């Protein structure tokens, strides 16, 4: 009996070790982010957040990020210190073998090699250096930073409500009679993930025709996402159109969606990442 | 008999206590060497099985790296050489086998002892100690894959119970100093 017990412990040790090795991440996995940020003339910095999965056993956090030669430094450390010197990991979500972490990064606008009055800054890939000196080159979805384009007072934002994590509703009051000609999502990929309804009718942004709006009408915009969303969305939906007297206008509506991951979606993300690295 | 069990007791204490100030200030190899001396002394007296002394001698050498590695930080080795990550577990299991052999020696002695209940006491502690140790190590092996709060609670409880049993073992071994087998009297 004694020897069977010892043998069982050994088998369990080897088995767990093999499982641990096979599920260990080669490198942290960054989720997809679809972000647009509008800046104003006198703005010096803009903050963006990236989410990534790490192994629970090796707690690491982002030291800095480099994009097109611009260094982005974290404004949160990914860890909290208690009074007694004990270190507590601050994570967003915990899974069997992974933590979902968020790093908030400050972008110094003056150091970006872009003339923001003429163009926007878009990037899809970043170089990340972690606290253990591991360097990772990774895709993070798409980030676009540009000057604020909003130039209108045709809509007044009446209310905004969130029904849970996956749906939101914004009510706009029309102040002038206008012809709404285009609703533009900044990224094509997001169209499949972010479902839009205008006045309770579903629309696909790219197929939106035109809509005549009278003064004092209400425009209700609803956005919802699927339950299994794994990307982060923080973008401005642009409403373009013409007014009767004042020409073109653009109105920006910010939509933010964060996924709530579960073990199944984490397993899937880990699997996809491993397949990619092969 | 007294000398043998004093050495074994001290050996077990040194192995149990793990105070790392750069290195283990109560090095495990010294503990295993004391046990080796004690067990050799004992087997000479009662003409018992030599397995325990062989194993204690082997452990004296195998445990040398543990002087530099805190016992509770085996995780550090998961990142590097794969055999090293199994080292704390292997060391623990070998120690369990050694304790099991020592129990067998004690049972041999108590079978002949003039005090009748010590044999029964030793049998019971041997069984519960072995079962608890196996449970402890099984949980330990799973702990690399489950780092949840619930799991940690189980681990802490089993570790505390295990510590109590280690102390019970020490008390029992110490008690054997006074046990006199009838045949030797």
Can you tell me whether residue A194 is helix, strand or coil?
A: strand
Name the residue with higher pLDDT: B18 or B82: B18
- Residue range B14-33, pLDDT digits in tens: 999 877 777 777 889 999 99
Q: What pLDDT score was predicted for residue B83?
A: 61
Residue appearing with tokens 């007014």: A243
Which of A42-46, A117-121, A162-166 has the least mean pLDDT? A162-166
* For chain B, percent of residues with pLDDT exceeding 70: 85
- Band (A165; pLDDT cuts 50, 70, 90): low
Strand partners of residue A126: A138
- Band (B102; pLDDT cuts 50, 70, 90): very high
CA distance B52 to B136: 22
Name the residue with higher pLDDT: A36 or A229: A36
CA distance A112 to A106: 12
User: Average pLDDT for residues B161-172, to the nearest whole number?
Assistant: 94
CA distance A139 to A126: 6
Arithmetic mean of pLDDT over chain B? 83
User: Average pLDDT for residues A233-256, to the nearest whole number?
Assistant: 88
* For chain B, percent of residues with pLDDT exceeding 90: 43
Q: What pLDDT score was predicted for residue B131?
A: 94
CA distance A149 to B114: 97
With 90 as the cut, is the pLDDT of residue B70 above it? Answer: no
The shortest C-alpha distance from B184 to chain A (Å) reads: 30
User: Average pLDDT for residues B38-60, to the nearest whole number?
Assistant: 89
Q: What pLDDT score was predicted for residue B185?
A: 43
The DSSP letter of residue B181 is: B
Chain A residues lying within 8 Å of B100, measured CB to CB: 2
CB contact under 8 A, A8 and B100: no
Can you tell me whether residue B10 is helix, strand or coil?
A: helix
Residues of chain B that touch chain A, judged by Cβ-Cβ distance less than 8 Å: 75, 78-79, 82, 85-86, 89, 93, 96-97, 100, 130-131, 134, 137-138, 141-142, 144-148
CB contact under 8 A, B89 and A9: yes
Chain B residues lying within 8 Å of A6, measured CB to CB: 93, 96-97, 134
CA distance A186 to A120: 12
ipTM of the complex as predicted: 0.85
Q: Hey, which of A88-97, A186-195, B17-26 has the most confident mean pLDDT?
A: A186-195
With 50 as the cut, is the pLDDT of residue B81 above it? Answer: no
User: Average pLDDT for residues B34-45, to the nearest whole number?
Assistant: 91
Three-state SS string across A207-262, please? HCCCEEECCCCEEEEEEEECCCCCCEEEEEEEEEEEECCCEEEEEEEEEEECCCCC
B142 contacts A16 by C-beta, under 8 angstroms: yes
Arithmetic mean of pLDDT over chain A? 86
Q: What pLDDT score was predicted for residue A70?
A: 93
* CA distances for B51 relative to A3, A218, B44, angstroms: 15, 89, 13
Q: What is the CA radius of gyration of chain B?
A: 17
Please tell me which of the candidates B93, B142, B147 has its beta carbon nearest to residue A10. Answer: B93
Chain B residues lying within 8 Å of A267, measured CB to CB: none
| Structure token pair of residue A59 | 């707690």
CA-closest candidate to residue B89, choices A85, A16, A204, A226: A16
With 90 as the cut, is the pLDDT of residue A138 above it? Answer: yes
Q: Which residues of A248-266 are buried (b: 16+ CB within 10 A; e: fewer)?
A: ebbbbbebebbbebeeebb
What does DSSP say about strands A232-243 and A33-39: parallel, antiparallel, or unpaired? Answer: parallel
Q: What pLDDT score was predicted for residue B147?
A: 66
Residue A42: left (phi > 0), alpha (psi -120 to 50), or beta?
A: alpha
- Residue range A53-68, pLDDT digits in tens: 998 777 788 999 999 8
What does DSSP say about strands A135-147 and A33-39: parallel, antiparallel, or unpaired? Answer: parallel
Q: What pLDDT score was predicted for residue A88?
A: 62
CA-closest candidate to residue A99, choices B14, B148, B184, B53: B148
CA-closest candidate to residue A51, choices A68, A28, A21: A28
CB contact under 8 A, B86 and A97: no
Element (H, E) at B62: helix B51-62
CB contact under 8 A, A13 and B89: yes
* For chain A, percent of residues with pLDDT exceeding 90: 30
Please tell me which of the candidates B82, B138, B147 has its beta carbon nearest to residue A12. Answer: B138
């Amino acid at each position: 009996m004694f020897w069977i017990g010892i043998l069982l412990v050994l088998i369990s040790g080897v088995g767990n070790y093999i499982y641990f090795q096979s599920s260990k991440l080669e490198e942290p996995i960054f989720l997809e982010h679809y972000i647009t940020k509008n800046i104003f003339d006198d703005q010096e910095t803009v903050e963006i957040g990236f989410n990534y999965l790490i192994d629970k056993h090796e707690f690491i956090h982002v030291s800095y990020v480099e994009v097109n030669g611009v260094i982005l430094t974290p404004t949160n450390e990914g860890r909290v210190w208690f009074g007694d010197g004990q270190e507590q990991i601050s994570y967003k979500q915990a899974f069997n073998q992974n933590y979902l972490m968020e790093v908030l990064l400050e972008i110094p606008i003056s150091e970006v090699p872009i003339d923001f009055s003429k163009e926007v800054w878009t990037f899809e890939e970043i170089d990340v250096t972690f606290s253990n000196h591991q360097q990772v080159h990774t895709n993070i979805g798409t980030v676009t930073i540009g000057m604020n384009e909003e130039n209108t007072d045709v809509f007044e934002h009446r209310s905004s409500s969130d029904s849970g994590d996956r749906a939101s509703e914004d009510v706009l009051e029309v102040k002038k009679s206008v012809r709404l000609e285009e609703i533009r999502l900044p990224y094509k990929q997001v169209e499949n993930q972010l479902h839009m309804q205008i006045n309770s009718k579903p629309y696909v942004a790219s197929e939106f025709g035109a809509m005549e709006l009278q003064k004092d009408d209400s425009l209700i915009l609803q956005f919802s996402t699927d339950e299994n969303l794994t990307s982060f969305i923080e973008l401005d939906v642009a409403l373009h159109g013409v007014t009767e007297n004042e020409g073109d206008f653009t109105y920006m509506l910010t939509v933010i969606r964060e996924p709530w991951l579960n073990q199944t979606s984490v397993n899937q993300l880990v699997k996809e990442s491993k397949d990619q690295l092969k | 008999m007294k000398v043998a069990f004093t050495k074994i007791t001290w050996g077990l204490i040194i192995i149990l206590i793990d105070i790392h100030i750069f290195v283990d200030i109560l090095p495990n190899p010294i503990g295993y060497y004391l046990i080796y001396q004690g067990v050799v002394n004992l087997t000479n007296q009662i003409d018992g099985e030599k397995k325990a002394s062989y194993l204690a001698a082997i452990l004296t050498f195998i445990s040398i790296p543990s002087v530099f590695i805190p016992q509770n930080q085996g995780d550090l080795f998961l990142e590097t050489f794969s055999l090293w990550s199994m080292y704390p577990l292997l060391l623990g299991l070998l120690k369990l086998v050694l304790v099991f052999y020592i129990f067998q020696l004690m049972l041999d002695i108590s079978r002949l002892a003039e005090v009748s209940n010590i044999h029964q006491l030793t049998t019971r502690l041997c069984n519960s100690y072995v079962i608890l140790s196996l449970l402890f190590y099984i949980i330990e092996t799973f702990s690399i894959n489950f780092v949840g709060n619930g799991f940690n609670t189980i681990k802490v409880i089993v570790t505390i119970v295990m510590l109590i049993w280690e102390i019970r073992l020490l008390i029992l071994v110490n008690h054997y100093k006074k046990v006199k087998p009838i045949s030797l009297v």
